[in-house]
């Protein structure tokens, strides 16, 4: 796989109504669209509400991995 690349700039509101590609995996969930361009972040928020809401990052199935391999402990909050 290639290292991540900067995203091309855009103007206006970015369409985020569909999910991005998923990383290649042995048993992908259905429906899955795998691809190398899989560094995506899904954020859900209320339709209206205050600005500056917190963002929680959840890594599912973390028990399958050794955390020192996927987490940079220098930046954990």
Every domain of the chain and the residues it spans: 19-77
pLDDT, residue 45, reads: 74
Tell the residue number behind the tokens 């890594």, with chain if given: 59
- Enter the DSSP assignment of 15: P
Q: Can you give the pLDDT at residue 54?
A: 78
Question: CA geometry: angle at 10 spanning 38 and 75, to 5°?
Answer: 50
Positions in the chain whose pLDDT score sits under 50: none
């Amino acid at each position: 796989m290639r290292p991540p690349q900067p995203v091309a700039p855009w103007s206006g509101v970015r369409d985020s109504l569909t999910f991005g590609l998923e990383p290649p995996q042995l048993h992908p969930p259905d429906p899955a669209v795998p691809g190398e361009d899989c560094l995506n972040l899904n954020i859900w928020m209320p339709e209206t509400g205050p600005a500056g809401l917190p963002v929680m990052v959840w890594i599912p199935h973390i028990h399958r991995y050794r955390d020192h391999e996927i987490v940079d402990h220098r930046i954990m909050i």
